[in-house]
Structure 1
Amino acid sequence: MDVPDPAPARYPSTIAAPLEHELVIKKSRFIAQVAPARTTEEAEAVIAAVRRQYWDARHHCVALVIGTHADQQRSSDGGEPSGTAGVPMLEVLRRRELTDLVAVVARYFGGVKLGAGGLVRAYSSAVSEALDAARTVRRTPAVRIAVEVPHTDAGRLQSVLREWADHHEAQIEDVSYASSATLTLLVPPAHLVALDASLAAASAGRLVAVRGETVVMES
């Protein structure tokens, strides 16, 4: 009887693609854009693009989280009262355990003051609702594995390993051909022993999984 592998450790997730969402509260328009950004330079480019697009908005408020472990975090109230915009937006990103993304909210004032509490709710809701519509990209640590296979067995072993990967939260990263075929996989550390056993069974013990560096795998 197979014993299930423990769930792999996880890094903060990110999102797959940019997304825009508009929220209207008491005639004020809150236009939120969330976008992937792996560096502060990419985040700054997104911020600059939003400011150009919505150049006549009264406020441009920002929150960003960068780094595999979410170690770079920044926010700006964009002229709103201190603590009413950027920090609430950043808290949404933190609560959702997200990284490598930037959130920008452009506000067009509708003539009715919302008060500090109203602004906090509006900015956090705008970002939260935008993220609700975004596709989340899950991140886990994985070991890069290389399996060298004779050409005559490459097709069969690729099929076997693809099916194995589908059931073990792994990915086939690459297949290359030279004097032999090399299959490269990304495998969560908890599933390495299972891979060795499956590979041995599929090749009568002839093939070996060569372990390489640990990387971040996205799914």
Structure 2
Amino acid sequence: MPEESRAARYTVLPAAAATVPVVHELEVRRSRFIACLLRVESEEAARGFLARLRREHHEARHVCSAFVLGPDRDVMRSSDDGEPAGTAGVPMLEALALRETGTGDGPVRDLSDVCAAVVRYFGGVKLGAGGLVRAYSEAVSAALDTTATVTRQRMELLGVEAPHAEAGRWENELRAAGFVVRDTAYGTAGATVTVALPDDGRSRESFAARLAAVTAGAGTARTLGAEWVDLP
């Protein structure tokens, strides 16, 4: 079951970005800034990703980083990795933390579970503090522009006990009504239809009404737990 959080939903990189980083390169006055974004769920995963990049780019001058973790974005870290203080990690973190997404009723800032690294190969021309801030921030923002994002929703899992003869019909009618049916498990005494509802305090009431109509009042739902789900 997910840990308790204030947020019921937030924005993440697509699932593919958990294994294959999003990469975008920017050149500024002969310096190469290679931005790499990975979807991560822990500090350990973020730091492991950064260690791999440092090994792969061992000739690079800097591998600066920032990451944001958790539904409530309560873990935020950044590193300048040898660049002048405040010119790399912080601008990168701001590019992540201030990123506007379409989750909810309008643009919000809720991007999380993301690690950004910018590998810099020095081109021989100093950029100054302002130039570095712009370059590192732009590298991360430009990489984000190249990828889609998805909404991650906390879902409440409910189990509906059904007779064998009715389970298929109940499942089909609940799906037709727009509810997410995760699976139907058949046992010796009957079947359990597992339904996932947005954990928003409102969906369970509408589900109860539909369930009563579908089952003629015979079906009841019990709470099985909760999980975070990427919405289609």
User: Which bin holds the TM-score, normalised by the shorter protein?
Assistant: 0.7 to 0.9
Identity %: 46
Secondary structure of 2:126 counterpart: coil
* Structure 1 equivalent of residue 97 of structure 2: 94
RMSD: 1.7
* Structure 1 equivalent of residue 206 of structure 2: 194
Q: Conserved in 2, the CA contact under 8 Å of 1:141 and 1:217?
A: yes
Map 1:176-187; keep pairs closer than 5 Å. Answer: 176-179=185-188, 180-187=190-197
- Structure 2 counterpart of 1:175, from 171, 184, 190: 184
Map 1:122-137; keep pairs closer than 5 Å. Answer: 122-137=135-150
CA deviations on 1:52-105 (whole Å, 9 max, x unpaired) are 111111110010112231111110001111111100111111112222221111
Amino acid at match of 2:125: V
Secondary structure of 1:125 counterpart: helix
1:214 Cα deviation (Å)? 4.1
CA deviations on 1:123-178 (whole Å, 9 max, x unpaired) are 1111112122223231233221111122222222222222334xxxx533332221
Amino acid at match of 2:59: D
1:61 aligns with 2:64: yes
Q: Conserved in 2, the CA contact under 8 Å of 1:65 and 1:101?
A: yes
* Structure 1 equivalent of residue 107 of structure 2: none
Task: State how far apart, in whole Å, the 2-side matches of 1:40 and 1:141 are.
Answer: 21
* Structure 1 equivalent of residue 50 of structure 2: 47
Under a length normalisation based on structure 1, what TM-score does the superposition of the two structures give?
A: 0.87
Map 1:109-188; keep pairs closer than 5 Å. Answer: 109-165=122-178, 171-179=180-188, 180-188=190-198
**Equivalent residue pairs, number:** 207
Secondary structure of 1:70 counterpart: coil
* Structure 2 equivalent of residue 210 of structure 1: 222
1:215 Cα deviation (Å)? 3.7
* Structure 1 equivalent of residue 3 of structure 2: none
Greater mean alpha carbon deviation, residues 42-51 or residues 90-99: 90-99
* Structure 2 equivalent of residue 85 of structure 1: 88
Task: State how far apart, in whole Å, the 1-side matches of 2:227 and 2:117 are.
Answer: 30
Amino acid at match of 1:184: T
Q: Which runs of 4+ in 1 moved over 4 A?
A: none
Amino acid at match of 2:145: D
1:213 Cα deviation (Å)? 3.1
Under a length normalisation based on structure 2, what TM-score does the superposition of the two structures give?
A: 0.82
Task: State how far apart, in whole Å, the 1-side matches of 2:180 and 2:149 are.
Answer: 18
Greater mean alpha carbon deviation, residues 203-212 or residues 190-199: 203-212
Secondary structure of 1:110 counterpart: coil
Secondary structure of 1:134 counterpart: coil
Secondary structure of 1:176 counterpart: strand
